[in-house]
């Protein structure tokens, strides 16, 4: 039972919503939400449910959490939004869903990296194209003064040339 029997408050340590978001178990996430699990509260590692689901590429969990009212701009301990995490991991369908729902395409993490910085660094060409089509800024600089195109390097991605071409 994820609730304290004395106070009636939710006890996140006893819930599996965060793990189930990572694993993509949408039915179990739905059960946690029905039981009152928090939509925007971080787990012990500092990750809220929507960031975890987006990073795992679980489109069904992302859609469920968004429909339930999760904050599209919730942040983890590194300041990553769900869109930043999904772009970092190359989850095109999740990125499209979050953008369709109104996620900020130019949101930055603690190091001032946008989703476009991360997608460029990891060589996720289709995600880069999507972000650009939705208004992602090619001229946004991160804390190191780097543009997204500067992140296209062979030591970070085998697709760096294609990503660089998409950003030109």
Asked if the model's pLDDT at residue 107 lies above 90, the reply is yes
Which pLDDT band holds residue 8 (cuts at 50, 70, 90)? Answer: low
Global pTM value: 0.89
Q: What percent of the chain has pLDDT over 70?
A: 91
Sort 45 into a burial class: Cβ within 10 Å, 0-12 / 13-18 / 19+: exposed
Domain boundaries, the chain: 12-167
Q: What's the CATH number for 12-167? A: 1.25.40.20
Lowest mean pLDDT: which of 13-17, 72-76, 139-143?
13-17
152 closest CA partner among 115, 130, 113, 124: 124
Query: 23 CB contacts (<8 Å, ≥6 apart)?
Result: 56, 58
């Amino acid at each position: 039972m994820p609730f304290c029997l004395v106070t009636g408050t939710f006890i996140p340590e006893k819930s599996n919503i965060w793990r189930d978001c990572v694993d993509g178990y949408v039915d179990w996430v739905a059960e946690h939400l029905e039981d009152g699990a928090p939509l925007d509260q971080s787990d012990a590692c500092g990750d809220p449910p929507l960031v975890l689901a987006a990073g795992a590429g679980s489109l069904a969990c992302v859609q469920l959490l968004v429909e339930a009212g999760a904050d599209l701009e919730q942040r983890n301990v590194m300041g990553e939004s769900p869109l930043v995490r999904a772009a970092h991991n190359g989850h095109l369908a999740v990125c499209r869903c979050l953008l369709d729902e109104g996620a900020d395409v130019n949101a930055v993490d603690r190091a001032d990296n946008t989703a476009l910085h991360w997608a460029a660094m990891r060589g996720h060409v289709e995600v880069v194209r999507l972000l650009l089509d939705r208004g992602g800024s090619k001229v946004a600089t991160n804390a190191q003064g780097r543009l997204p195109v500067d992140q296209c390097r062979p030591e970070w991605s085998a697709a760096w040339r294609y990503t660089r071409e998409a950003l030109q």
